[in-house]
Each structure stands twice: as structure tokens, then as C-alpha cells.
Structure 1
Amino acid sequence: MDASTILWIVVAVAGVFLIVAIVWGVTGRSRKERALEHQRARAADLRREGEAAALDAQRREAEVSRAAADAKQQDANAAVAEADAASAAAEAERARVDAENRRRESQAREADAQVARAEAEERLREADRADPDVPEGQEAPLQTVGRTPEAAEDPAVETGTARATPTDADATRPGVHHRPAVTDRSTAREEVEPSVGAARPVDEPDVERGTDRPPV
């Protein structure tokens, strides 16, 4: 083998190595670029996932804040409701006490009215007994019915001076001396006064009382 042949063989081998090196470098750079792109894509995915997680965390934090605000508002509403309930209970207690006081006052007034009514009736009976124009045992009956809200406003019933009105049946009863149905005792006295001062026979017996009256 001459020197030129050996030289060409060396040159060919060097060329092959050079080509292989160039191809390797090109493919290596391409692989590196692909690796970098893959890393960039993975980083972008991770970044998007992180941003989504951050947004979800913010949403949850906002929900927690709203829940805390709602809980605080509910606590305030509960406090207001408790205060209103306490005020309503106090008002109801005051109303109950006031009603009880009014009931006792009404009972006391009713008792006083009954006493006053009894006293008025007794005085009227005593006046009938002392009145010479009213026969004995024929005193005009008094109204003894119970008081009603309307009767409580009637002065005649309040003082017990209302007298029973004679009926038509009483007018036909023999031996009954009827007096005018009036509520004012002074009016009745004025109406019967002339009969008191009228002249009577000296020896005329008192037919109504069944006794002899002394000379006038």
C-alpha cells in the first residue's frame, strides 16, 4: 500500500467521524431543545395548576369570610331576639300585674257599691216606715238586681235610689197604696206633701194604718 492510499483512508475515516460528530451534535441539540420544551410545558402546566389552586383557595377564604360574617350577623340577630323576648316578657308581666290590680280595684269598688246600695235601700225603707202616707208593710220594693256596666253609669242605680214602678196588676190589688214611680225622693215628698197637711175629721179612723190618728 502506498502512502497516498493510506492518506485517503485516514481522510475518509476522519470524514466519517466528522459527519458522525456533526449528526450527533445536531441530534443532541434537538433532543436538548425538546427536553427544554417539555420542561417549559410542564412548568406552564404546574403554573396553571398553581393559579387554579390559588383561585380556589381565595374562593374558599371568601366563603369562610362570608360564613364568619353570617355567623356574626346571626349572633347579633339572636341577641336582638333575646332582648325583644325579654322586653315582651316584661311587658306581659306588667300587663298581668296591671290587670290583677284593676281586678282587685273593681272588686273593691263593687264591694263599696254593694255597701252603699244596701245603706241606700235601708234608708229608703226607713223613710217609707216614717212616711205616714205609706201603709205599714206596703213599702215600695227596691230594685235589687245586680249591677251591669250600663247600670254602673246610671246615677240612679249607682246610688241605689231607683224604685220599682207599680204595674197594672198592682193597681188592681185592694188595700195597696201606690206612690208615683220617681227616682227623686224630694219630688215624691213634694207630691205627697198636700195630702199630709190636709184636714182630717177629728174622730175619723186611719183606714190605711188601721189605727186612730190624733187630732190635727
Structure 2
Amino acid sequence: MKLDITNRQIEIIKASGKILMEKGIVGLTTKNLAAEIGFSESALYRHFKDKEAIISLLIQYLAENINERFTKIMSSDLNGEEKYLAVFGSQFQFFKDNPHYIAVILSDGLMDSSEVIKQSIKNLIQRNSKFFIELIENGKQNHFFTHKIDTEDMVHIMMGTFRLQMLKWKMADFSFDITEKGMKTMKGLLTLIKN
């Protein structure tokens, strides 16, 4: 399902992500958002009914972006190892280019802010899990990934490792190259889960 989203809404959700990253959920106010974008608070309400709608669309926009990138990789002729590396390479590069979306990955306080936002995050996690399950199952069928680790456990290990790497990058104030360091970590993990 393609999101119906305007360029102005994209500008607003990107600014929201930046504020979430810098100030957390409590810092995302219409006043701060309007100041970040450079227009009045009342102008925000022409595009979104409330803060919850902004955050929900930000998560949906990220989910659609990930879906497009992963679908392209998964439908390619790459082998299991190449798909694994392409998926994580794509993720690290996306967040390197768009660090304001890291607040969604780390979901600092977002899950507790509303049921709608919690559901949006759950949908994102479930969608990503399905891609990783497909990646792992295909890899197991082609004798690329080990059968000694349950697929669901492998998904948790991959997603947890990725999330921890993103947290370390944020805590280091984005001072290192996340693509380089992240891929080094994911290649190390690959060594552990290969058949």
C-alpha cells in the first residue's frame, strides 16, 4: 500500500524525527516543531490533526521505505550472503543519510506515548521480522545459514544486533561511520550463523 503523503508532510515528519532524536518525545511539541520548520503552529494543523498523527506517519513512512528497499533486495538474483549484506548495508546507509529516523528504531519513550504509535511500531517490527524470516528460511533451504539456530531466534539476534549498533552510534553522537562499523559487526554475526 503506497502512502498518500505530501512533500510538506515529509518535511514535517523529518523535522519531527530530528526533534525526537535530540529531545525525546517530551521535546516534540508543536512550538518546537514550528520553530524547527519555520512556520506557525497553526500551519501544522493544516497537515496533521495532532502530534500522534505526525509520529504515526513518520513510522509508516519509514516502514514503507524499508519495505521498498528490502523487497528489491529479496527479489534480486543475489545469493543468501549477498542478500544479508545488502539488507544491512541498505539499512546502515539509509540511517547514515537520515539519522533523524533513529528515534523510531530506538523508540525512546515512543511506545508509551499512545496506543496508535505503539501499534505503528509493532507493525514496523512485524514487517521487518517477515523479511528476515524469509531471508533466513531461504538461506537455510540453500544450506547457507545454520539449522542449529531456530529461525525466530536468528531474527531476534540479527535485529537486536542491528539495534544495539544504532544505539552505540547515537550514544557516540554519530561520531563514527555507521556503515563501516555496522557492516563489520554484521559480517561478524554472519560468520556465526553461516552453515
**Range of TM-score over shorter length:** under 0.3
TM-score, length of structure 1 as denominator length: 0.22
The structure showing larger relative contact order (alpha-carbon pairs under 8 Å, at least 6 residues apart) is: 2
TM-score, length of structure 2 as denominator length: 0.24
Q: In proportion to residue count, which structure has more helix?
A: 2
